[in-house]
Amino acid sequence: MLSSCLKVQSLLKPVSRFIFSHSYSHFPLPEILINEITLAFNQENFKLIDSRNLTKLRPCHVGIILHNLRSKPVSAIKFFQWSEHFLGFNHTRDSYVKLLHLLLRERKFDEARWAFGELIRKFGTFDFFDAFDDEGYRIFWSNKGAAYSFFIENYCRLGLIDQSVELFFRMCCMGVVVSDYAMLKLLRCLIDLKRVDLILDVCGKLENGWKSGQKRGFDPYCLVMDGFLKKDEFGMGLEFHRVMVEMGVVLDIVACNKILRNLCKSKCTEDAYKFFLLILEAGPKPTVVTFSTLIYAYCREGRLGEAFELYNLMIVKEIAPDLVTYSILIDGLFKLGKFEEGHQLLSAALDRGIKLDVVLFSCIIDAHARNGDVEKGIGIYNRMLKEGIMPSIVTYGILVHGLCQSGQLIEAFGIFGQLMKHGIEPSILIYSNLIDGFCKMGYLKDGINLFTDIVMKGYMPDIVAYSVLINGLSKWGQMDDALTFFYQAVNSGITPNIYVFNSLIYGWCKLKQMDNAINLYAQMHSYGIIPDLTTHTVILKGICERGRSVEALNFFFQLLKMGFSPDVVTYCALIDGLCKQNNLTAGLQIFKLMVENGVKPDIIVYNVLINALFNEGQVGNALNLFRQVSEYGPEPDIVTYNTVICGYCSMKMLNEAVQLYEELKHRQLRVNAITLTILIDAFCKEGRMDDAISLFSTMLNKGPLPNVVTYSSLIDGYFKTCNTKNAFELYEEMLEKRLSPTIVSYSILIDSLCKRGLMEESYFVFHNALNRGLIPDIVAYTILIRGYCKVGRFVDAMSLYKHVLEDGILPDSILQSTLAEYNLLNSNREDLHTLLKHVKGRTG
């Protein structure tokens, strides 16, 4: 606009300003000059103005020309500024008023704000209703409501809040409607200034307008309450609510519920409760949503006592809990492991006529699955089907995940088949769970094939799918395949996360290839990943498993210098590593340091120490520590009892082990398959097969069901007592029960066959393991190689040894001794030496 004025000045001859300094009142303006100026500014052709006539122009004539330029507000502003800057006019208040009329009529709000600001700056505050009279609205055809709303907004913008409020009240008296935008501006300013008194007055007027039929595009109550909450002025919000009710304003409970929900979402549960009490006391009447909102907040924080107090209050006030209320409470109970109470509440809901939906059923199934009781989850699923409720993709996902986690892969695929039968498209998460299930069972080829299959079907694997596969391959030592999928993910544009790196580092550590683990650790920063405490704990554990106690201690203390605060898992890894290296003294010193650093030992740490004391032959100290935790805590778990029972067995104190087992049966802890398997194994080692079979029958009849280790112990016991027939029958029974043997159980069977010279049978069992996707370890290879050597089949022994080296497995001392014993280390020496050197290089 200023540039336009300069342009005008360049086209007109200078006119002496002194002639305009006198005060003129009413001079008739020649019509020809009016037309010249109007035409000149309309066409932006200032040559049309005869400068000789400009001396006749007076400040009182500005309004007439503005009226003529009303259809072109930009031209009107240019004229207004030109007359001030070039002609030297000191514009009157009336001229500003006419300019504002014109600008507001044409909705030129930015320009109008400038004009309003100039008007207030020059003339201060004044009676706007007097200045902006009806005549002005009639002449300029501007909208009275829009104009006054604009003034309210701009009074606020300039900080003149009292004037804004006064203007609002006068508009209400005149029956002029204030725009929503102006009201929002006014209320927000009052909230910022914490003017609760004026807010209440304004809201009272708005309530009267609402009663007379004026509708608003916003809820003043919600606006004010949200504003006070954002300002951390919750007390003002409560006072505002109370006075509004006292004023007779009818508040909407839906709006109150929204405020309550926002408080709960912000984890301001105590404030939410205060607000809830105010609603109960002052109104409006709470609904089931009001109660459920606060109940959910309490359940999320594990405060079930307060949640059920609200539930009982609902019953007293005759507000019937609905499906959502029951779902929240039942889910809260299940998450805290209170399954009996959860099912009682479920029965109460059914008695009240509540019809369960797929969401609640899914929550119940999920709770049982997370608790490790997937069988009950399946029972709930079957009940759901009987009631005619169609499972959702979430329901199927929960079941597949739970079954895969519990090793029931066949059942998981059964559920997957039902999902497909109902025409539901499986999610990538469900496929990821199945891949994870394959990997956990050691069926790596099946896991890889399923992954490849979903890619062929057009699915785009996400980081979760890659993570479970990489983790599974790493845990089974298949690092080449794991790295292949790692780089495939990276090349697909997927950013690897800390979990993937920790899995890969764990895999290298498990293979005792620490150089590769450290190299990967060093590469993490290049991917933007910062190693966390878990990363360092995995590496520390890897160092410990290599038997490098001094290195482990150095690494641990470097971790402290780096600013990490080791948690109970890190301390436990170091203590366990030291104890396994027969350095119980150092382990106890780290235990002492752990306590001094304020890290509370959990029962796992005590289990490690009890086990180490038994291994050191310190039965008395082990039992004293066991009594200490039993009396003072932490609460012994089933692993603690299994450790002591195993310790007794290792010290040939089988009667004491049985006695502790009998005591355990009367405690709340549930005996698991490991407890009974330890005793069965001890009985078998002592040749007490009848006692072992008796316990085994108890497992079959009463539970817990025997696992693959139980069968392996019995099979080994039968072989040791030369009962080969029963051993093979038991092996067949294990396969019929769909228990998948591990490489350890296969090794037991192969060892027993080799000791009897049954090499064809041994090799058949070995290949059976390979066909099942199991990866033979050095123990399995050593057993078979030694068996071949004993029967003089040295060519087969050396062929298998070459396989060991080609698979990248480092021979242990037992295998080396076996080959040396039969003078086989010199055969094909150069080739084998090259392979062995390569394997050692890979293992660091």
CATH number at residue 476: 1.25.40.10
CA 764 from centroid of its chain's CA atoms:
49
Task: Say if residues 142 and 106 touch (Cβ distance below 8 Å).
Answer: no
CA 287 from centroid of its chain's CA atoms:
31
Q: Please report which confidence band the pLDDT of residue 834 belongs to, taking 50, 70 and 90 as the band edges.
A: low
From the number of C-beta atoms within 10 Å of its C-beta (0-12, 13-18, 19+), residue 390 rates as: exposed
Nearest to 83 by CA among 26, 131, 147, 33: 33
pLDDT number for residue 591 = 95
Higher pLDDT, 191 or 206: 191
Position 451 pLDDT exceeds 90: yes
Q: What is the pLDDT of residues 779-798, one digit of tens each?
A: 888 999 999 999 999 989 99
pLDDT number for residue 206 = 84
Q: Three-state DSSP class for 318?
A: coil
Q: What is the pLDDT of residues 247-277, one digit of tens each?
A: 888 888 999 999 999 999 988 999 999 999 9
Position 723 pLDDT exceeds 50: yes
Give all strands (DSSP E) within 415-569, no chain letters: none
Q: What is the pLDDT of residues 634-644, one digit of tens each?
A: 999 999 999 99
Q: Tell me which range, 63-77, 330-344, 605-619, is most confidently predicted by mean pLDDT.
A: 605-619
Position 844 pLDDT exceeds 80: no
The mean pLDDT of 380-385, rounded to a whole number, is 89
Q: Residue 284, preceding bond cis, omega within 30 degrees? A: yes
From the number of C-beta atoms within 10 Å of its C-beta (0-12, 13-18, 19+), residue 574 rates as: buried
List the domain range (segments joined by +) for residue 841: 746-844
Q: Please report which confidence band the pLDDT of residue 597 belongs to, taking 50, 70 and 90 as the band edges.
A: very high
Give the span between the Cα atoms of 216 and 149, in whole angstroms.
14
Neighbours of 476 (CB within 10 A): 22
In a domain, 831, yes or no: yes
First to last CA, the chain: 78
Task: Say if residues 428 and 454 touch (Cβ distance below 8 Å).
Answer: yes
Give the span between the Cα atoms of 323 and 164, in whole angstroms.
49
Position 111 pLDDT exceeds 70: yes
pLDDT number for residue 15 = 33
Task: Say if residues 636 and 630 touch (Cβ distance below 8 Å).
Answer: yes
Position 228 pLDDT exceeds 80: yes
pLDDT number for residue 29 = 54
Q: What is the pTM for the complete model shown?
A: 0.61
Task: Say if residues 839 and 816 touch (Cβ distance below 8 Å).
Answer: no
Q: To the nearest whole number, what is the mean pLDDT of the chain?
A: 86
pLDDT number for residue 199 = 92
pLDDT number for residue 127 = 77
Higher pLDDT, 835 or 614: 614
CA distances for 534 relative to 29, 62, 464, 577, angstroms? 89, 79, 18, 16
Position 561 pLDDT exceeds 60: yes
* Proportion of the chain in helix, strand, coil states, percent, rounded to 5: 75, 0, 25
Position 501 pLDDT exceeds 90: yes
Position 72 pLDDT exceeds 50: yes
Neighbours of 363 (CB within 10 A): 21
Domain boundary among 531, 554, 571: 531
Tokens of 347: 């029965």
Position 737 pLDDT exceeds 80: no
Position 6 pLDDT exceeds 50: no
Between 91-95, 274-278, 301-305, 678-682, the lowest mean confidence (pLDDT) is in: 91-95
Task: Say if residues 546 and 553 touch (Cβ distance below 8 Å).
Answer: no
pLDDT number for residue 13 = 35
In a domain, 784, yes or no: yes
**Phi/psi zone of residue 44: left (φ > 0), alpha (ψ -120 to 50 degrees), beta?**
left
Domain boundary among 142, 161, 183: 142
Between 28-37, 334-343, 696-705, the lowest mean confidence (pLDDT) is in: 28-37
Q: What is the pLDDT of residues 13-34, one digit of tens each?
A: 333 232 233 333 344 556 777 7
Task: Say if residues 329 and 292 touch (Cβ distance below 8 Å).
Answer: no
Position 658 pLDDT exceeds 50: yes
Task: Say if residues 84 and 1 touch (Cβ distance below 8 Å).
Answer: no
pLDDT number for residue 502 = 96
The mean pLDDT of 227-246, rounded to a whole number, is 90
Between 81-95, 229-243, 275-289, 384-398, the lowest mean confidence (pLDDT) is in: 81-95
Higher pLDDT, 106 or 704: 704
In a domain, 626, yes or no: no
The mean pLDDT of 30-49, rounded to a whole number, is 77
In a domain, 160, yes or no: no
Nearest to 362 by CA among 377, 349, 342: 377
Higher pLDDT, 27 or 543: 543
The mean pLDDT of 682-692, rounded to a whole number, is 93
Number of domains in the chain: 3
Position 8 pLDDT exceeds 70: no
pLDDT number for residue 256 = 93
Tokens of 575: 């203590």
Domain boundary among 103, 125, 142: 142
In a domain, 68, yes or no: yes
Tokens of 41: 């500014």
Q: What is the pLDDT of residues 510-529, one digit of tens each?
A: 888 999 999 999 999 999 99
Give the span between the Cα atoms of 448 and 488, in whole angstroms.
13
Q: Which helix (H) or strand (E) holds 544?
A: helix 533-545
Task: Say if residues 640 and 607 touch (Cβ distance below 8 Å).
Answer: yes
In a domain, 167, yes or no: no
Give the span between the Cα atoms of 123 and 128, in whole angstroms.
12
CA distances for 38 relative to 11, 35, 174, 327, angstroms? 16, 5, 36, 75
Give the span between the Cα atoms of 623 and 605, in whole angstroms.
15
In a domain, 613, yes or no: no
Position 557 pLDDT exceeds 90: yes
Position 3 pLDDT exceeds 80: no
In a domain, 262, yes or no: no
